[in-house]
């Protein structure tokens, strides 16, 4: 970047400092101020320490700092500020919004892309990227409110014979203000059971209100989940992109057997092609 000030939105990849691109590393090292966005994903303490050794000291930003970015943008008017985001920075609406605000203020900006979990999960599992439908995120139940959309996404994908990448929330409060607790596989199961219960209640209430084809589709698709949700095939991904990464293949009902690490996500596989089956057999524990 030619300007001496501005916003650098830098993806630092998954897992550790070596998964950063050389241009990202360069940009961070040369920035006047470094800020780690710390509410959409988490690295372990060791890797955070190594990051500091490699790029120098940095501050932390939580959700309110990014969503109400007046302070950050004011700093960008005077110096070059690198916002470091785990994975790829442009997968989140908040970051798109941040760039649009910078543009309105005529602050120069540049994006450095990083390897995202979407890449890693499809790649490491050996499942074909072309056979993944829409991804989803399992959220914690916030104060009694239970989302059902993740289950709907999974069942629509199954109906279309597509795999689903299921990311896990890491913020039990939904506020993004600290005390992040990345969802564990057993929490994910609990949340999914809650979702099914809620969805079945909703379906009973709304069964008469079939107004358009998308709604019909929604109801139809519930049938694609196994009658007993605990039988749903899952592939749990643990600490992808780190030296500890592992895949575990089983059913939702036995998810407590999956390895527990720092960050998890899950793939709900549909029917597997021959090579996908072979790859999972080799690379996923059962």
Instruction: Name the site residues for its own copies (rule: CB under 8 A).
Output: 13, 17-23, 25-26, 88-91, 93, 96-97, 99-100, 103, 111, 113-116, 118-120, 122-124, 126, 128-137, 156, 159-162, 213-214, 217, 241, 275, 278-279, 282
Taking the least distance from each CB to its own copies, the nearer of 135 and 255 is 135
Taking the least distance from each CB to its own copies, the nearer of 6 and 13 is 13
Distance CA 254, CA 285 (A): 13
Strands 80-85 and 233-238, bridge-based pairing:
unpaired
Name the minimum Å distance from CB 130 to its own copies. Answer: 6
Name the minimum Å distance from CB 92 to its own copies. Answer: 8
Name the minimum Å distance from CB 90 to its own copies. Answer: 3
Taking the least distance from each CB to its own copies, the nearer of 170 and 279 is 279
Taking the least distance from each CB to its own copies, the nearer of 156 and 234 is 156
Two tokens, residue 223: 């049938």
Name the minimum Å distance from CB 110 to its own copies. Answer: 11
Distance CA 84, CA 37 (A): 6
Name the minimum Å distance from CB 14 to its own copies. Answer: 8
Name the minimum Å distance from CB 256 to its own copies. Answer: 28
Distance CA 79, CA 56 (A): 16
Q: First CA to last CA across the chain, in angstroms?
A: 49
Quote the DSSP letter at residue 272: P
Distance CA 107, CA 35 (A): 17
Taking the least distance from each CB to its own copies, the nearer of 12 and 146 is 12
Two tokens, residue 91: 């997968």
Name the minimum Å distance from CB 258 to its own copies. Answer: 21
Distance CA 28, CA 62 (A): 19
- Angle between helix axes 213-221 and 149-159 (nearest 10 degrees) is 90
- Is the sign of the CA dihedral 174, 179, 180, 181 positive or negative? negative
Taking the least distance from each CB to its own copies, the nearer of 22 and 179 is 22
Two tokens, residue 162: 């597509």
Taking the least distance from each CB to its own copies, the nearer of 38 and 242 is 242
Distance CA 277, CA 284 (A): 10
């Amino acid at each position: 970047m030619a300007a001496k000030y501005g916003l650098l939105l830098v993806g630092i990849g998954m897992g550790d400092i070596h998964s950063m691109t050389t241009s990202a590393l360069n940009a961070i090292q040369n920035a006047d101020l470094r800020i780690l966005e710390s509410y959409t994903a988490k690295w372990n303490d060791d890797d955070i320490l190594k990051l500091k050794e490699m790029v120098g000291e940095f501050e932390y930003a939580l959700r309110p700092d990014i969503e109400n970015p007046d302070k950050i943008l004011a700093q960008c008017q005077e110096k070059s500020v690198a916002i470091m985001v785990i994975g790829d920075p442009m997968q989140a609406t908040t970051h798109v919004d941040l760039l649009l605000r910078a543009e309105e203020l005529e602050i120069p900006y540049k994006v450095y892309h990083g390897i995202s979990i979407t890449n890693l999960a499809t790649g490491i599992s050996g499942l074909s990227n072309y056979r993944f439908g829409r991804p989803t995120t399992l959220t914690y139940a916030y104060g009694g409110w239970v989302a059902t959309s993740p289950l709907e996404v999974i069942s629509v994908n199954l109906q279309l014979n597509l795999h689903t990448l299921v990311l896990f929330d890491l913020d039990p409060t939904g506020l993004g203000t600290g005390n992040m607790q990345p969802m564990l596989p057993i929490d994910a199961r609990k949340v999914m059971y809650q979702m099914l219960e809620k969805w079945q209640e909703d379906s009973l209430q709304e069964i008469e209100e079939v107004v358009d084809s998308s709604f019909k589709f929604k109801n139809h698709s519930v049938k694609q989940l196994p009658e007993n949700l605990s039988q749903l095939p899952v592939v749990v991904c643990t600490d992808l992109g780190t030296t500890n990464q592992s895949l575990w293949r089983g059913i939702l009902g036995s998810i407590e057997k999956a390895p527990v690490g720092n960050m998890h996500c899950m793939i709900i596989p549909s029917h597997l092609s021959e090579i996908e089956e072979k790859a999972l057999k080799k690379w996923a524990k059962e």
